[in-house]
Structure 1
Amino acid sequence: MSKTAKRRFSNELPSALENTAQLNGELQDRQPVVFLDFDGTLTPIVDRPELAEISPEMRDSVHRLGKCCILAIVSGRDLDDVRVKVGIDEVYYAGSHGFHIAGPAGFGHELQQGSQFLPSLDKAEQALLRQLSQIPGAQVERKKFAVAIHFRRVANEQVDAVTAVVDRVLADSEGLRKTGGKKIFELRPDIDWDKGKAVNWLLGKLQLAKHKAVPIYVGDDLTDEDAFRELQHRGIGILVRDEVRPTLARYALDSVDEVGTLLRRLATLFE
């Protein structure tokens, strides 16, 4: 891929399923390393995050592919949360956008710089709980290294009120930054770490960066763009699209079901 790669609109991306032959050609004689987002990728987006469930068919597809190659789940969810929901011991997990990473045989890493921001996150969580309590549908979800504010169930006319509260709490917080996603805001430590940095760290730690490894990253959200950016010149980014927006991904899928189909095809190719 050209070093001058730029964003394209998601509706312009070629289908990963319709270009299987081209994908197979890129993977020829190379070692695949697969990274998968969770919400919106392995399971549909739901109104309440705690209700998200991976289907038995999708779990089997992930498990099968994980036996053929190194595979990691990269999620904004807390590590323990996503690990329980996926329920496969043989794969790697990067929770909290990569602040907390674990894998087989006791493999683990926690970004120590994040710990110094825990008091600020505690304070922000309490302020958000108080100030959002009067807005129906607003949900505050505390993670170890972030506070998520879900507004999928908030009436359209009150979304601005949620935004104002989040911005006010952010202004009163020390060392945090606001990021966004699908009907969600997050307050996170304001340090140079994200899903893309976590993917690079894992590639280096597993001694894959300098070998014939080809990273494949599948994700649907704005936070996954950090990984697409890191891999655009040496890997394959695949967007699970549900809206028209700029992206650095190279291919697209149109649904969680298509993700499952792709994982099964990859497993067949690698077995």
Structure 2
Amino acid sequence: MHPMQPARPHILGPEGQAALARTLASSPLLAFDFDGTLAPIVALPSMARMPAAVSERLGRIAARVPVAIVTGREVADVRQRLDFEPRYIVGSHGAEGPVAEPAPVWVSAMAVARDWLQPHRGTLEAIGVQLEDKRSSIALHYRNAPDRALARRSLERLLRTASPALHVFGGKMVFNIVPAHAPDKADAVLALVRQEGAGTALFVGDDLNDEPVFQRAPAHWLTIKVGPGTERSAARSAARFFLAGPSEVADLLDAMLGHLGPAPSL
């Protein structure tokens, strides 16, 4: 296969459109990551916003079909960035939301993480690492570091000393710290499908913390990776379909509205 040939189909191609039609006719739960999916990645997490075209379309869909936002952000943080009310918001990569009350052991694990990181905060800030404490998780961002390679190496050395009570995983210019046994995004979406009594699910995400959903999705779910669909990226993603980037999410939502048909009149 040519290295740039798509290894999975584009969701807006014929195969993807047929899969969308089947999914939307099957009483689905529609679940979306936020950063890098509904909102483009930006230099500072506080600057992230959904484009108006995405927000307006998703709001119309959420009025007709149960929608979940499943994000690494804190629930309160992402809620203020939405112009509509989804059925569910799950935060901290699955550890915070309607199906996961923080267990005492998770609270204790995050206290361990804060105590462990505290002596290193000055050093991390000096090399351009931003520590974002989201209560149920901590993110260490190095996107704005003057020397990203140095910041990444420094973080990797530090994170190798993490307590067994913690789970550390990477992302786009970030390392995330969560309690070792907290639910992940796959646990959250599976629980929401059961809670909703949905016939199937659609999940759209872009990063490593979305892969558990792609990997554990039942065969009848529809999973979409926001990012290149090349052979190289396919080796790292279990999603069935792809979008080229967040700029195509509004087109995906348009297609979903088309398959849903006219809204019922009141």
Which structure is higher in strand share?
A: 1
- Quote the RMSD (CA, aligned, Å): 2.3
Answering whether residue 89 of structure 2 is matched by residue 64 of structure 1, we say no
Query: 8 Å contact 1:124–1:170 — kept in the other structure?
Result: no
Answering whether residue 129 of structure 2 is matched by residue 143 of structure 1, we say no
> Matched residue pairs, number?
252
Distance 1:24 1:57, change over 3 A: closer
1:263 and 1:128 mapped to 2: Cα distance?
Answer: 43
SS of match in other structure, 2:11: coil
| One-letter amino acid matched to 1:143 | K
1:37 and 1:121 mapped to 2: Cα distance?
Answer: 25
State the shift of 1:12 in Å.
Answer: 1.1
1:206-217 superposed matches below 5 A: 206-208=196-198, 213-217=199-203
1:57 and 1:263 mapped to 2: Cα distance?
Answer: 9
Match of 2:145 in 1: 154
Answering whether residue 89 of structure 2 is matched by residue 93 of structure 1, we say yes
1:127-206 superposed matches below 5 A: 127-135=119-127, 137-156=128-147, 158-168=148-158, 171=161, 173=163, 175-191=165-181, 193-206=183-196
State the shift of 1:21 in Å.
Answer: 3.6
1:256 and 1:267 mapped to 2: Cα distance?
Answer: 18
Distance 1:233 1:57, change over 3 A: same
Q: TM-score, normalised by structure 1?
A: 0.84
Q: Which of 72, 77, 85 is 2:73 aligned to?
A: 77
SS of match in other structure, 2:81: helix
2:225 and 2:176 mapped to 1: Cα distance?
Answer: 21
Structure 2: where are the runs of 5+ without partners? none
Answering whether residue 218 of structure 2 is matched by residue 222 of structure 1, we say no
State the shift of 1:267 in Å.
Answer: 2.0
| One-letter amino acid matched to 2:29 | V
Answering whether residue 101 of structure 2 is matched by residue 110 of structure 1, we say yes
Distance 1:265 1:117, change over 3 A: same
Query: 8 Å contact 2:40–2:246 — kept in the other structure?
Result: yes
SS of match in other structure, 2:126: coil
Give me the identity figure in percent: 27
Q: TM-score, normalised by structure 2?
A: 0.86
Query: 8 Å contact 2:73–2:91 — kept in the other structure?
Result: yes
State the shift of 1:96 in Å.
Answer: 0.5
State the shift of 1:27 in Å.
Answer: 2.6
SS of match in other structure, 1:82: helix
State the shift of 1:59 in Å.
Answer: 0.9
SS of match in other structure, 1:111: coil
Match of 2:226 in 1: 240
State the shift of 1:28 in Å.
Answer: 6.7
1:268 and 1:13 mapped to 2: Cα distance?
Answer: 23
| One-letter amino acid matched to 2:251 | T
Structure 1: where are the runs of 5+ without partners? 1-8, 103-107
2:175 and 2:24 mapped to 1: Cα distance?
Answer: 40
Q: Which runs of 4+ in 1 moved over 3 A?
A: 160-163
* CA offsets 1:64-122 (integer angstroms, 9 cap, x no match): 111121110000001111111123224310111111114xxxxx642324223231132
2:204 and 2:165 mapped to 1: Cα distance?
Answer: 30
SS of match in other structure, 1:38: coil
